[in-house]
Chain A
């Protein structure tokens, strides 16, 4: 089953304006992903830990995410020290482990963890309906926002539909293996899923037209920056300026 991994809770991060969170997360992540210096990354890590602490405190699912991302980085720890030229540290039976490789792998690990914390604490804490509204008021095309909301809405329904198809196949004695029969079966299942979803889409379209849908979801509440949001904005402008300063001002 797909888990809606939205991190709910009621922390100071959750109460921040979603538009602000999206913009800050984007600028902050971009700065971190292009930075090369260790002090910048360490400063970024400190800020990331600070802002993810309230979320982490109220929700323990975040731990699973951190472990997952760090499993992926293992690939770089295996390859980079062995393939990168540089000062050898250890010789492992003919293979040279280079200092530069280990350094690069460490920098990447640090970056990925900072980015994960920023993404999970600032953006994954926005419920999807609020995300759609925030993106709409950030002047993203209406069509894209509507597309996002439809896609989100139907992921769970279609997954259920696919499970049904899988159960039906299993009851008929289908066992996946490496052969053409398996691939044909999966292709037909995917095709059936497509055909059924198109039928659903047409029904949905007609229902929406009947209810006067003109391509925009209207919302009753307006988004306005509160005084606490201005304080957050000030805090993050300082952080971003600090990161930029540490990265680019020559010492």
Chain B
């Protein structure tokens, strides 16, 4: 789930840097020093989980887990992913300095969307909770691969076929991530429910709260 350096065009790179910078600024504002070790370790945790090869049919895929990261960290997913992606660029040369912005945007925007999806989907039974967690994992990777193909297609019109292929090849991974996220959330609900954000109901104040993202707030 990385764009290598040298492929996407300047407008896409600049958009990525802009969105990633804004998101990271918001994330850092909402992340206080008491939770920074937690965010760092979660970021390391996702770095490690991303190395697991999971069999899917004849091939195997690696987990992205940006949905789960988003649910746990909220806006702090932005700085956590910037750091994780920078380390991946330095360790394995997946992505690079110039594509750090666009790669962060593609993974972190869906992560934050997943947080809001998870928090605001009003479900109470276990079954429906699992379904909503599946939806978060599925759309986390789904939106990320949409962003990935979009950035390819916007860079160069001749990349359309490659972009379509990239998107199609991620469809099985979306289902895989959905399943893993659903099981993961149900595991955390049983073992360490304090990690998960509290469910909220959509109300007018809640909608208003969405627009006050610059408010300093602890991650939960």
Docked Cα-Cα span, A236 to B32, in Å, equals 39
Q: Is the CB of B54 within 8 A of A79?
A: no
**Contact between chains at B5 and A33 (CB < 8 Å):** yes
Residue of B6, B56, B191 ringed by the most chain A CB atoms within 10 A: B6
B interface SS class: helix
Number of interface residues of B (CB under 8 A): 70
**Are B36 and A147 in contact, CB atoms less than 8 angstroms apart?**
yes
Asked if A182 CB lies within 8 Å of chain B CBs, one says yes
Question: Which residues of A have CB within 8 Å of B13?
Answer: 30, 33-34
- Which among A146, A177, A183 is the interface contact of B176 at CB below 8 angstroms? A183
Contact in complex: B28, A79 (CB < 8 Å): no
A59 in the interface, Cβ–Cβ < 8 Å?
A: no
Assuming the contacts A151-B40, A194-B188, A208-B37, asked whether A182 and B96 have C-beta atoms less than 8 A apart, the reply is no
The stretch of A50-58, A117-125, A226-234, A237-245 in contact with B is: A117-125
Whether B162 pairs with A75 at a CB distance below 8 angstroms is yes
Measured between alpha carbons, how far is A157 from B90 in the docked complex, in Å?
18
Q: Quick one: which of A72, A104, A124, A144 contacts B28, CB cutoff 8 A?
A: A144
Question: In the bound complex, how far is the Cα of B84 from the Cα of A215, in angstroms?
Answer: 20
Within 8 A of A (CB), among B120-142: none
Question: Given the complex of chains A and B, what is the CA–CA distance between A184 and B176 in angstroms?
Answer: 11
Q: Is the CB of A158 within 8 A of B24?
A: no
Q: Is the CB of B158 within 8 A of A143?
A: no
Minimum CB–CB distance for B52 against chain A, Å: 7
Q: Which of B110-118, B177-185, B202-210 contacts A (4 or more CB under 8 A)?
A: B177-185
- With A143-B36, A180-B179, A194-B192 known, 10 other A-B pairs at CB within 8 A are A33-B98, A73-B4, A115-B6, A116-B5, A154-B41, A176-B54, A187-B182, A194-B184, A194-B188, A205-B38
5 residue pairs, one from A and one from B, having the closest CB atoms: A150-B40, A187-B183, A111-B6, A191-B187, A154-B44
7 contacts between A and B (CB under 8 A): A83-B160, A143-B79, A158-B47, A162-B48, A193-B49, A195-B191, A197-B44
